[in-house]
Amino acid sequence: MKRMLPLVLCLMPVGLTAHPHVFVDTGLDVIFDDQNRLTHVRVTWAYDDFYSLLILEDLGLDSDADNILAPWEQKRLQGFDMNWVEGFNGDLDATLGGQQLQLSRPMEPTAELRDGRIITTHLREVTGQPQVGGETLSIKPYDETFYVSYDLTLPVRLTGEHTCLTERIDPDIDQKLSEMRAFLLSLDVNADLEENDIPLIGEQFATEIRITCPNS
């Protein structure tokens, strides 16, 4: 299907800022063992009110809207967002010293309903349990298509390690939108956006957590 440039330009910049359909407050627990090896990352997702309502209705939960789930409802909700297709990275990018880390599929899922919002957690094991000392660990939660917006508003914690430093790198939203608009304006008005390699923009709007640890 041909996607025409004029329509995209009409939606800029409002279209891009409004593009996400699901909004998720996100938290991270980066877990080390007693030998300063990175073993797991626990992820918390707190879904926005509207998406939470849609999920509850779809699953037939909390029909009395009292924000209290019966035991069977709690069980039904748990793991609803863990049915990942093969190859899905869980919308979590992790690198160590610039090298991609491999993370397991989600384990130990939890889910609860709190003040009208669904909050879930899951644990992911880091393949190889690498030593972090002397390298920069980078973790970025994002959906490359930007359909889901992950906002690191929940705590980012280090468990089992007390000498590492954590730095938060927030994207320059205005600058990224400006760059995207300039790119789109550089194309011919009849351009096929797919043929012009329109970039997936999710990573550009992602907050990065950088963790540096001293050598052992």
Per residue in 8-35, pLDDT (tens digit) is 333 334 344 446 899 999 999 999 998 8
Our count of domains for the chain comes to: 1
Tell me the average pLDDT of the chain.
85
Does 10 or 59 have the greater pLDDT score? 59
Mean pLDDT to the nearest integer, 153-158? 97
Q: What residues make up the domain containing 128?
A: 5-212
| H or E element, residue 29 | strand 22-32
Contact 37, 130 (CB under 8 A): yes
**Cα(128)–Cα(100) distance, integer angstroms:** 12
Q: How confident is the model at residue 36 (pLDDT cuts 50, 70, 90)?
A: confident
**CA 144 to chain CA mean position, Å:** 9
Q: How confident is the model at residue 106 (pLDDT cuts 50, 70, 90)?
A: very high
Looking at residue 39, its pLDDT comes to: 97
Looking at residue 11, its pLDDT comes to: 37
Does a cis peptide bond (omega within 30 degrees of 0) precede residue 199? no
**Cα(131)–Cα(60) distance, integer angstroms:** 45
Looking at residue 7, its pLDDT comes to: 34
Looking at residue 172, its pLDDT comes to: 76
Looking at residue 185, its pLDDT comes to: 72
Query: What percentage of residues in the chain have a pLDDT greater than 90?
Result: 65
Looking at residue 216, its pLDDT comes to: 64
Mean pLDDT to the nearest integer, 129-158? 94
Looking at residue 61, its pLDDT comes to: 96
Looking at residue 19, its pLDDT comes to: 63
Query: What percentage of residues in the chain have a pLDDT greater than 70?
Result: 83
Looking at residue 17, its pLDDT comes to: 40
CA quadruple 166, 143, 91, 131: dihedral, nearest 10: -40
Among the ranges given (39-43, 177-181, 192-196), the one the predictor scored with the smallest mean pLDDT: 192-196
